[in-house]
């Protein structure tokens, strides 16, 4: 039985991976906080990572650990660099030492998100606009530099078992009947289960490289919120606001890309596998949400 080590195992993707793989593999679960079968491993410490991987000898390491708080990354870029860049570097070094595969999860924020005529492919040049995007791009570059066998999956607007946009919107309906949501940022909501299914599909193969990994289709945050409310039959009015209007209401928030669309082009070149449309994935997710 293959051994798969998961970092950030308490997060949305970490939980989704366990649900998708079930009993197919032996999981080694790690995070910054131990408990419930999860061991503590700080990926920012190279000696710790090397020692732990040599002791456990996983066949595959899936890195779900990251500092994803976009505003927090702006105020603590050093911390973001440790989590999003140095951590992946350490995992890349350690997996190469033991001959394991590395699967690293990245983000659409490696692109600047300026308006364009077509979605980004894996062959477009990254140009991040935020500390989060910069540190995640550094992580990608370290993986490419130090890992001998790797997959990098760039995803976007991820939601699953944990704190996320879908649950936030639904919780707010208990307090408000009108919400202001940004309408000029375009992207693709992607469920953690759908991303986990893609990883499950690609992990056993040797089709290494960088992949875009989002659900099919596109929307904006305001329309996404409206879809959530409609599907759950919540009577909430969504007020569409621009990024500039939102910034006036929340001046401390970091700038977000306005065009987040990515095409899963590499996946279409090497596989017939397709991720679900975002609305179908949302339907599946909402079945388990009260």
Show which residues are catalytic.
132
Phi-psi sector, 186: left (phi>0), alpha (psi -120 to 50), beta: beta
Q: At what angle do helices 221-231 and 165-172 cross, to 10 degrees?
A: 60
DSSP track, 261-275: -B--HHHHHH----P
β 190-191/237-241 pair status: unpaired
Residues β-bridged to residue 209: 151
Strands (E), the chain: 3-7, 26-31, 38-40, 60-63, 101-107, 150-155, 158-159, 178-182, 186-187, 190-191, 209-212, 219-220, 237-241
Residues β-bridged to residue 180: 239
With beta carbons less than 8 A apart as the criterion, state whether 217 and 279 touch: yes
**Coil/strand/helix, residue 157:** coil
The HSE-up count of residue 128 (CA atoms within 13 Å, CB side) is 19
**Coil/strand/helix, residue 187:** strand
Distances (CA, A) of 72 to 62, 127, 209: 24, 20, 29
The shares of helix, strand and coil residues in the chain, as percent rounded to the nearest 5, are: 40, 20, 40
DSSP 35: B
Distance of CA 4 to the CA centre of its chain: 18
């Amino acid at each position: 039985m293959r051994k798969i080590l998961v970092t950030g195992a308490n997060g949305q993707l970490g939980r989704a991976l366990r649900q998708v793989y079930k009993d197919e593999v032996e999981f080694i679960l790690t995070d910054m906080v131990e408990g419930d079968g999860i061991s503590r491993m700080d990926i920012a410490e190279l000696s710790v990572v090397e020692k732990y991987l040599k002791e456990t000898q996983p066949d595959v390491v899936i890195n779900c650990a990251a500092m994803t708080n976009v505003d927090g990354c702006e105020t603590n870029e050093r911390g973001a660099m440790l989590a999003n860049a140095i951590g992946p570097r350490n995992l890349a070094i350690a997996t190469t030492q033991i001959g394991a595969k590395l699967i690293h999860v990245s983000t659409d924020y490696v692109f600047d998100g300026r308006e364009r005529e077509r979605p980004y492919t894996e062959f477009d040049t990254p140009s991040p606009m935020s500390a989060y995007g910069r540190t995640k791009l550094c992580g990608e570059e370290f993986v490419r530099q130090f890992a001998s066998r790797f997959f990098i999956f760039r995803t976007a607007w991820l939601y699953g078992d944990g704190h996320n946009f879908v649950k936030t919107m639904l919780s707010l309906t208990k307090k408000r009947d009108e919400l202001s949501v940004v309408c000029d940022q375009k992207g693709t909501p992607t469920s953690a289960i759908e991303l986990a299914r893609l990883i499950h599909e690609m992990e056993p193969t040797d089709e290494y490289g960088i992949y875009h990994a989002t659900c099919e289709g596109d929307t904006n945050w305001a329309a996404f919120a409206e879809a959530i409310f409609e599907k759950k039959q919540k009577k909430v009015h969504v007020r569409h606001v621009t990024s500039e209007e939102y910034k006036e209401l929340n001046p401390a928030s970091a700038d977000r890309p306005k065009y987040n669309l990515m095409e899963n082009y590499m996946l279409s070149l090497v596989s017939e596998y397709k991720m679900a449309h975002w609305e179908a994935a949302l339907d599946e997710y909402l079945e388990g949400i009260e």
